[in-house]
């Protein structure tokens, strides 16, 4: 992995490929490369590091008139990030070139076989094996050569293949790694993400697993690996180019933090019934009587989405009184989970393509569970393969560290909990109280964002710390986890989140004057308990940064720093409490001169297990 762009048409391919790669920079990568189909054969150019290094490496070749090519940004899985391992990879005759996202699990076996056939292996990657395997299968038809190679492959892939023997043809294929075709006029595109082609077209076709596409300037033909044809359904993307620009902000992450009042409004628009105090979520595809009889829910996710799932557990169990289990998607299908037709599984993924989450969802479907997706990307694999679900409508999230998608996920989970609760045991009055509080959340987030300078000053005071501890209780324990994750992801400071009461069972040994402790201390039923935990930290010379409720006059004298958030419904506090933690992490990372939007070693959409 991480980014693929392909173009075939009548225009110069090079600037289209380079600009497409730049649109995908947010995904994180360590090298870049491209292959252009010229009259005298394939032009291959690669570089380690940023795309600007690739542009420098092209030199005089940047004037290429080629109108057909593929390009890639790589996030290393097999082999270190260097020139040799960068994509594209070619066969030994340099007649076939391909770029690849994913992992070929049986590449060692295939490698040994190809070496016995006389192929010279030059890289440490699994991808090079595919280039040789396609060449080995080639009998004059590139599509059939790709098909033949892929029947021997185990693992995940999204690939784009070109050959000097087949001008005006890109062969694309996917299994477990997203790939989309963009339809233009006398030109077509291939990419791993619509953002790479959005400036040229908003008409796209998503490939499904085990599908192969033959793409020319005027046509694209999609077949299953078993040669069954599919009539492509063209979708129109509603995103605009402005939505993937920084619009005056220094970083995409900061822009996306500030977009949260808008994204929350988008998540709730048309979904609130004030008279009945209930959420409308028709996308779940469940009738009211089915909602009333749900007896068990599993929520599966990874990373930040897992933290939103934990908040969903608190919400659903308290409001609807339905037992909820939260599972790491990466562990779910490997531990013989107890799943049957009475189970409802929610799969949460911003991209809708997260490999582990997709695998967990498919495992649950095998056992007869009702599978519902909570995703951001319309047309994503999870959206297409689930029985129903809810889009969060956060728009494109470019920063690798998720912010606006997290709060939108939490808001959608709140609406799901409200709907289930109203179907079961919550009164109209309780439902209305929550719905009214939900409507107020965007304006309350705006008031927190208006206090950014004060949060920035706190970041300045603590940005040189090497360790942080985050504490929360109840529904705000997952917020502590999320705050710690954000700091780790973008500032490279070691941080851990804990339930506040668990501090005494180990982490308290770490506390001294050099250990900042961020505590979510809101006016709720566990406020007094949290204040006791703060006292324990202060008694050991720990420095406390508190997230507190406006109007709390008691806490300022007991902590070193305090950030206030507005009062809201007790179960909605996570959507507010996380905002200052996002800003704190962002400003600390900037002060440490870190790559905020593209943290080292991280990728936006993790499409390998």
pLDDT, tens digit (0-9, with 9 covering 90-100), for 86-96 = 889 999 999 99
* Catalytic machinery residues: 2, 604
Which CATH number belongs to the domain containing residue 581 in this structure? 3.40.50.10490
The predicted-structure confidence for 171-193, as pLDDT tens digits, reads as follows 999 988 889 999 999 999 999 88
Angle, alpha carbons 48-50-54 (nearest 5°) = 65
What CA–CA distance (Å, rounded) separates 175 from 26?
23
Write b or e for each residue in 287-310: b if 16 or more Cβ atoms lie within 10 A of its Cβ, otherwise e.
Answer: eeeebeebebbbbbbbbbbbbbbb
Cβ count near 136 (within 10 Å): 18
Same domain, 459 and 413: no
What CA–CA distance (Å, rounded) separates 232 from 418?
38
Does residue 607 surpass a pLDDT of 60?
A: no
Angle, alpha carbons 577-582-584 (nearest 5°) = 100
Is 46 contained in some domain?
yes
Same domain, 471 and 388: no
Residue 382: closest CA among 400, 402, 409, 403: 409
Domain endpoint, select from 413, 445, 477: 445
Does residue 606 surpass a pLDDT of 60?
A: no
Helix, strand, coil percent values for the chain (each to nearest 5): 40, 25, 35
Write b or e for each residue in 177-206: b if 16 or more Cβ atoms lie within 10 A of its Cβ, otherwise e.
Answer: bbbbbbbbeebbbbbbbbbbbbebbbbbbb
Cβ count near 55 (within 10 Å): 17
Residue 560: closest CA among 534, 582, 527, 578: 534
What CA–CA distance (Å, rounded) separates 85 from 104?
15
Q: Are 438 and 575 in contact (CB under 8 A)?
A: no
Q: What is the pLDDT of residue 467?
A: 93
Domain endpoint, select from 423, 445, 467: 445
Same domain, 226 and 253: no
Query: 3-state DSSP call for residue 69?
Result: strand
**Domain region containing 304:** 245-445
The predicted-structure confidence for 403-421, as pLDDT tens digits, reads as follows 999 999 999 999 999 999 9
Q: Are 151 and 603 in contact (CB under 8 A)?
A: no
- Please report which confidence band the pLDDT of residue 591 belongs to, taking 50, 70 and 90 as the band edges: very high
- Please report which confidence band the pLDDT of residue 609 belongs to, taking 50, 70 and 90 as the band edges: low
Residue 561's DSSP bridge partners are 545
For the chain, give the percent of residues with pLDDT over 90: 64
Same domain, 472 and 458: yes
The predicted-structure confidence for 422-480, as pLDDT tens digits, reads as follows 999 899 999 999 999 999 999 999 999 999 999 999 999 999 999 999 999 999 999 99
Same domain, 376 and 461: no
Is 609 contained in some domain?
no
- Please report which confidence band the pLDDT of residue 245 belongs to, taking 50, 70 and 90 as the band edges: confident
Same domain, 27 and 136: yes
Does residue 242 surpass a pLDDT of 80?
A: no
Q: What is the pLDDT of residue 474?
A: 94
Same domain, 422 and 529: no
Does residue 330 surpass a pLDDT of 60?
A: yes
**Alpha helix locations (H) across 375-476?**
381-385, 404-424, 428-449, 452-462
The predicted-structure confidence for 254-274, as pLDDT tens digits, reads as follows 999 999 999 999 999 999 999
Distances (CA, A) of 463 to 258, 420, 480, 491, 515: 21, 43, 18, 9, 12
Does residue 604 surpass a pLDDT of 70?
A: no
Q: What is the pLDDT of residue 241?
A: 67
Same domain, 421 and 344: yes
Domain endpoint, select from 237, 269, 298: 237
Is 459 contained in some domain?
yes
Q: Are 190 and 215 in contact (CB under 8 A)?
A: yes
Is 604 contained in some domain?
no
* pTM of the predicted protein model: 0.79
- Who has greater pLDDT, 29 or 181? 181
Q: What is the pLDDT of residue 540?
A: 86
């Amino acid at each position: 992995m991480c980014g693929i762009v392909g173009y075939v048409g009548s225009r110069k391919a090079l600037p289209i490929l380079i600009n497409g790669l730049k649109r995908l920079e947010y995904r994180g990568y360590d090298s870049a490369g491209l292959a252009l189909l010229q009259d005298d054969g394939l032009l291959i150019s690669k570089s380690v590091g940023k795309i600007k290094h690739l542009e420098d490496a092209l030199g005089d070749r940047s004037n290429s008139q080629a109108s057909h090519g593929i390009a890639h940004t790589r996030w290393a899985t097999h082999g270190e990030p260097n020139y040799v391992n960068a994509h594209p990879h070619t066969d030994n005759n340099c007649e076939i070139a391909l770029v690849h996202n994913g992992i070929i699990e049986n590449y060692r076996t295939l490698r040994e076989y190809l070496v016995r056939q006389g192929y010279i292996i030059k890289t440490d990657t699994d991808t090079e094996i595919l280039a040789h395997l396609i060449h080995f299968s080639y009998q004059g038809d590139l599509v059939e050569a790709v098909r033949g190679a892929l029947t021997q492959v185990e693992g995940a892939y999204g690939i784009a293949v070109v050959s000097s023997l087949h001008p005006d043809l890109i062969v694309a294929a996917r299994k477990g790694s997203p790939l989309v075709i963009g339809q233009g006029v006398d030109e077509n595109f291939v990419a791993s993400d619509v953002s790479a082609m959005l400036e040229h077209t908003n008409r796209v076709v998503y490939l499904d697993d085990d599908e192969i596409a033959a793409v020319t300037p005027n046509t694209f033909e999609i077949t299953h690996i078993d040669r069954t044809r599919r009539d492509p359904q063209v979708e129109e993307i509603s995103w605009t180019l402005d939505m993937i620009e920084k619009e005056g902000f220094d970083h995409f992450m900061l822009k996306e933090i500030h977009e949260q009042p808008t994204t929350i409004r988008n998540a709730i628009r048309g979904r609130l019934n004030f008279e009945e105090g209930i959420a409308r979520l028709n996308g779940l595809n469940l009738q009211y009587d089915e909602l009333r009889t749900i007896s068990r829910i599993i929520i599966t996710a990874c990373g930040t989405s897992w933290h939103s799932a934990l908040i969903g557990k608190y919400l659903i169990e308290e409001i609807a009184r339905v037992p909820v289990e939260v599972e790491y998607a990466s562990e779910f299908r490997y531990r013989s989970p107890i799943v049957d037709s009475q189970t409802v599984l929610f799969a949460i993924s911003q991209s809708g393509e997260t490999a582990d989450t997709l695998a967990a969802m498919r495992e649950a479907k095998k056992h007869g569970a009702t599978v519902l997706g909570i995703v951001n990307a319309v047309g994503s694999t999870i959206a297409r393969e689930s029985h129903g679900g809810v889009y969060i409508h956060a728009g494109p999230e470019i920063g690798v560290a998720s912010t606006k998608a997290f709060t939108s996920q939490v808001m959608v989970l709140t609406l799901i909990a409200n709907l289930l609760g109203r179907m079961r045991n919550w009164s109209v009055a309780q439902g209305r109280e929550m719905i009214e509080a939900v409507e107020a959340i965007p304006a309350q987030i705006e008031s927190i964002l208006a206090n950014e300078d004060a949060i920035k000053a706190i970041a300045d005071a603590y940005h040189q710390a090497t360790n942080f501890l985050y504490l929360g209780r109840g529904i705000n324990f997952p917020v502590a986890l999320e705050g710690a994750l954000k700091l780790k992801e973008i500032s490279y400071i070691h941080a851990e989140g804990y339930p506040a009461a668990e501090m005494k069972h180990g982490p308290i040994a770490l506390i001294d004057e050099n250990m900042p402790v961020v505590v979510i201390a809101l006016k709720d039923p566990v406020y007094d308990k949290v204040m006791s935990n703060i006292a324990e930290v202060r008694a050991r010379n720990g420095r406390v940064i508190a997230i507190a409720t406006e109007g709390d006059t008691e806490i300022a004298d007991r902590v070193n720093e305090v950030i206030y958030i507005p009062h809201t419904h007790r179960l909605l506090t996570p959507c507010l409490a996380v905002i200052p933690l996002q800003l704190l992490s962002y400003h600390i990372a900037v002060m440490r001169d870190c790559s905020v939007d593209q943290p080292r070693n991280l990728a936006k959409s993790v499409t390998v297990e």
